[in-house]
Amino acid sequence: MHPKTQSLARQRRWQRIGLLAAAAMLAGASGCATSRGVLDIRQPSLANPATGPAIKIVEVRDQRKFEVAPNQPSIPSLKDRDIGNKPLRSRAIARKRNTYGAALGDILLPEGRTVEQLTREALTAGLREGGIRVVEPGDVDYDSAVPFEADIEKFWSWFTPGFWAITLEFQSEVRVSSAVAGLSPTAVTLHGAASDSGQAATGGAWQKVMNAGLADLVRDCREQPSPVVPAVVAQARAPQHAVAEASALAP
Strands 166-178 and 186-198 come out as: antiparallel
Supply the pLDDT for residue 4. Answer: 54
Establish how many alpha carbons lie within 13 A of residue 248's alpha carbon, considering only the half-sphere containing its beta carbon: 6
Q: CA 168 from chain center: how many Å?
A: 14
As a three-state string, the secondary structure of 112-139 is CCCHHHHHHHHHHHHHHHCCCEECCCCC
List the domain range (segments joined by +) for residue 130: 3-249
Supply the pLDDT for residue 235. Answer: 67
Coil vs helix vs strand at 67: strand
Give me the number of domains the chain comprises: 1
Sign of the alpha-carbon torsion through 108, 112, 117, 118: negative
Per-residue pLDDT tens digits of the chain, which is 251 residues long = 555 555 555 555 545 544 444 444 443 434 456 678 899 999 998 999 998 889 999 999 999 999 988 889 999 998 878 889 999 999 999 988 777 777 788 899 999 999 999 999 999 999 999 999 999 999 999 998 999 999 999 999 998 887 777 899 999 999 999 877 666 778 899 999 999 987 777 889 999 999 999 999 999 999 886 667 777 776 666 654 443 444 444 45
Q: Which CA distances in Å does 25 have to 14, 20, 22, 29, 201?
A: 16, 9, 5, 6, 8
Q: Which CA distances in Å does 6 have to 12, 62, 145, 157, 208?
A: 10, 57, 75, 42, 43
